[in-house]
Amino acid sequence: MSAETDKRVALKQWLRRRLTEGEQPKKEWRQLLEASWDFLLLTPVHDLIDTKTAKVAVDQLMNADLVTALSRPIVAAVAPVIIQELRGDERPLGRFLPQDAQAKLEDAIARPGLVHPDWVRAMFRGEAAEAVLNDALYRALKDFSTLLPRLMVKVSPIGRLGMLGSAGALAERLIEDLERRIEPEIKSFLAARSEEILKRAAEFAIAKLDEPASIEFRANFIKFVLSKSPAFLVGAADDALLEDVGVVAELTARHVADMPDVRADVHAWIDRAVAYSEGMNLGEALHLEDVDVRPPLDALAEATWPAFTTLLRSPQAQHWMDTLLVELLDEYERLDDS
């Protein structure tokens, strides 16, 4: 190995150490983050994003096979861990909201017009709603129907004679016959009128949406949710359900990725974003030009330093740095000879 080669090897090793070892590179990494933040906020948006290449990137990312291949292993690894953590958390969700925030939330849900009438109509529509209504009304009407014949017999001449002897037996048969006759009438009535009753119930609820009782119902529902823990909310999320949810998410992602109108919408969003930021730097576009608060750069630098140095130590990064260094030395020697 020649002396020149030895020097180049030594320079490559020095460059690697210079970028990854000791306190100086770490300090410079923090300074680089700060400078990058300041520079990006002052950079015109049109220098940061190109409409054409952004759309090409979106089109390539919205690939059904790519979405599945990337998301499936991530979801399979992360979802069970998250659910397991939530199952062990018995603390109420309300701990995340201070009292003043909860009060503000209650004020928000009490606003008139908050609930769209179609939400209410949807709750009172369909076979499930009809089944619940029919069952509830059937039980109520049937219970009432057992009282009505007895009341009629009681106020009849038979009832006035008392419920003893042949009069009592006759009254009892009369009551049983009336109950048998009323029961099919109840079923027939509900079969013919349940849909209309549901519509009337929905319109009644809509008319009362902004009255105190309805507002209190919404507030109580929010309070109930906040009083419950993550463990309560994911109590039914067993492994089988998680698997089903994963399949649904995967099929939905593939479907959305293949939808031409979604691609067109994303392209339109890019166009609108670029048009909105025309003549603006990034700070102005994000309304950060008058904000003095900075990200926690010290903490971010400390947290990202291990990943940054690991990347620089990778064979690919070292090859890239070695190649740059060789090209730099060759160019220096060429310039020195000319």
Q: Output the DSSP codes for 275-338.
A: HHTTT-BHHHHTT-TT------HHHHHHHHHHHHHHHHHSHHHHHHHHHHHHHHHHHHHHHHH-
- Per-residue confidence (pLDDT) for residue 16, from 0 to 100: 92
Cα–Cα distances in angstroms (integers) from residue 107 to residues 101, 125, 186, 283, in the given order? 10, 29, 44, 34
Judgement on whether residues 130 and 202 belong to the same structural domain of the protein: yes
In a domain, 221, yes or no: no
Of the two residues 79 and 318, the one the predictor is more confident about is 318
Of 100-104, 120-124, 149-153, 177-181, minimum mean pLDDT range: 149-153
pLDDT digits (tens, 9 = 90+) for 203-237: 888 898 888 888 898 899 999 999 999 999 998 88
Quote the pLDDT of residue 4. 75
pTM score of the predicted model: 0.71
Task: Kindly provide the residue ranges of all beta strands, DSSP E only, lying in 137-232, ordered along the sequence.
Answer: none
**Tokens at 191, concatenated:** 């079969």
Helix (H, G, I), strand (E, B) or coil at 17: helix
According to the model, what pLDDT value does residue 195 have? 78
90, pLDDT greater than 90? yes
Q: Is residue 310 one of the residues assigned to a domain?
A: yes
Q: What is the arithmetic mean of pLDDT over 313-327? A: 94
Read off the pLDDT band of 170 (50, 70, 90): low
Tell me if 219 is assigned to some domain.
no
Task: Choose among 179, 152, 177: nearest CA to 160.
Answer: 152
Residue 281's SS3 state is strand
Of 76, 132, 284, 119, the C-alpha closest to 218 is 119
Q: Is 66 a residue whose pLDDT tops 50?
A: yes
**How confident is the model at residue 12, as a pLDDT?**
92
Q: How far apart are CA 62 and CA 257, in angstroms?
A: 5
Residue 152 pLDDT more than 70?
no
pLDDT at residue 181 above 50?
A: yes
Look at residue 46 in the predicted model and tell me its pLDDT: 93
Is residue 290 a part of any domain in this protein?
Answer: yes
pLDDT interval class at 164 (50, 70, 90): very low
Rounded percentage of the chain residues whose pLDDT exceeds 90 = 46
Mean pLDDT, rounded, for 73-87: 87
Query: Closest by alpha carbon to 38, among 297, 298, 299, 309?
Result: 297
How does residue 314 score in pLDDT terms, banded at 50, 70 and 90?
Answer: very high
Q: Would you call 75 exposed, middle or buried from its count of C-beta atoms within 10 A (0-12, 13-18, 19+)?
A: middle
Which residue range(s) make up the domain with 21?
A: 3-71+240-337
Is the distance from CB of 249 to CB of 68 less than 8 angstroms? no
Whether 122 and 170 map to the same domain: the answer is: yes
Task: Report how far residue 163's alpha carbon sits from residue 73's, in angstroms, rounded to the nearest whole number.
Answer: 77
Pair of tokens at residue 147: 């009282």
Q: For residue 216, give both structure tokens.
A: 């209190």
The overall average pLDDT reported for the chain is 85
Task: Say how many domains are in the chain.
Answer: 2
- For 243-300, the pLDDT digits (tens) are 888 888 888 888 998 899 999 999 999 999 999 999 999 999 999 988 888 899 999 9
pLDDT value at residue 243? 84
**Claim to verify: residue 253 and residue 196 sit in the same structural domain:** no
Looking at residue 95, what DSSP letter applies? G
Q: Is residue 108 part of a domain?
A: no
Asked if residue 156 lies in contact with residue 177, where contact means CB atoms within 8 angstroms, the answer is no
- Residue 331: is it exposed, middle or buried by C-beta count within 10 angstroms (0-12/13-18/19+)? exposed
Query: Could you say which DSSP state residue 294 is in?
Result: -
pLDDT at 265: 96
Instruction: Name the most confidently modeled range: 90-94, 127-131, 143-147, 238-242.
Output: 90-94
Output the pLDDT for position 75.
Answer: 82
Residue that finishes a domain, picked among 184, 208, 232: 208
Taking residues 42-49, what's their average pLDDT? 94
Q: Is 49 inside any structural domain?
A: yes
Q: Please tell me the predicted confidence (pLDDT) of residue 204.
A: 86
100-142 pLDDT, tens digit each: 999 999 899 888 888 899 988 888 887 777 777 777 777 777 7
Rounded mean pLDDT of 65-87?
86
Q: Is the dihedral of CA 286, 291, 297, 299 positive or negative?
A: negative
Side-chain-side CA neighbours of 111 within 13 Å: the count stands at 10
